[in-house]
Amino acid sequence: MDDHASIARRRPARLLIGLSVLCLAVTVPAGSGEGPAERKEAVRVAKKVEKADKGARQTEEEREALRRFQEGVAEYAELHARLVARLGTPESVAAQKALAHALAASRAKARPGDIFRPESEPVFRRLIAEQLEGPDALDARRTLLEGNPRDERPLGSVVLRVNGEYPIGAPRSTVPPSVLLTLPPLPACLHYRFVGRELVLVDSVAGLIVDLLPAAAPDLSVS
């Protein structure tokens, strides 16, 4: 029997996928119709959604681990909101840096794993592997490598460090929709990014690395 809480947890991610598809749809010329390529893509996405739903069945320990992850995310989001209320929404690079500095100062003792807690790490790795392993996930791996900073030159454009800067001009990986559907949804200020195989939690408003999960993705080979 499906876990109702697990299903509800995925609704924001489903909405995100739906909006992404809608945005793509408006770029299709009027009257072009649905060709073989569009039908093939629709079938592929449907299979990924089905695969994600099957992977949603979790043990009680896994659900508890993800619940604690989301508690950590909520605490960070509250801190972010308080500082934005005090400093204002950043509308310039200087204001963004000021917000990032305030956040880092408030989390001066933060370390890797404070939000991606040890008990949640294997859960994230399993969920991600389910969507990226195997020949049928080749397109998803290719998508993840698009803009991945570890696949760009020069290498090392993003230094992985909690409270470190995620530079404004640095490449940003595209997280495959099937992976976004599988992972816990995030508040608006936070995004998942991949740097190489590492999963990074980024405050996209402040340009700040909030936490990171080493070796989160399996082998990303596409050859």
Q: What SS3 state is found at 67?
A: helix
Report the pLDDT value the prediction gives residue 67, as an integer from 0 to 100: 96
Is residue 203 situated within a structural domain? yes
pLDDT value at 112 more than 50: yes
Q: How far apart are CA 198 and CA 73, in angstroms?
A: 18
171 or 73, which is more confident: 73
pLDDT value at 8 more than 70: no
Which tokens go with 192?
A: 């998942």
The torsion angle over the Cα atoms of residues 178, 179, 180 and 186, rounded to 10 degrees, is 160
Report the pLDDT value the prediction gives residue 5, as an integer from 0 to 100: 40
Is residue 219 situated within a structural domain? no
Domain that holds residue 89: 4-26+34-213
**Could you give the number of structural domains in the chain?**
1
What confidence category does residue 14 fall into, taking pLDDT thresholds of 50, 70 and 90?
A: very low
pLDDT in tens, 67-103: 999 999 999 999 999 999 999 999 999 999 999 999 9
Is residue 222 situated within a structural domain? no
Q: Which stretch of 43-47, 60-64, 87-91, 120-124 has the lowest confidence by average pLDDT?
A: 43-47
Report the pLDDT value the prediction gives residue 43, as an integer from 0 to 100: 54
Which tokens go with 33?
A: 């119709």
pLDDT in tens, 117-169: 999 999 999 999 999 998 888 999 998 988 888 755 444 468 889 999 998 87
Q: How many residues does the chain have?
A: 223
Is residue 179 situated within a structural domain? yes
Residues of the chain above pLDDT 70, percent: 71
Is residue 221 situated within a structural domain? no
Q: How far apart are CA 73 and CA 81, in angstroms?
A: 12
pLDDT in tens, 193-212: 999 899 999 999 999 999 99
Is residue 220 situated within a structural domain? no
Is residue 223 situated within a structural domain? no
What confidence category does residue 16 fall into, taking pLDDT thresholds of 50, 70 and 90?
A: very low
Which tokens go with 82?
A: 């308080």
The torsion angle over the Cα atoms of residues 111, 113, 116 and 121, rounded to 10 degrees, is 160
pTM metric for this prediction? 0.72
Residue 7 C-alpha from the chain's centroid:
18
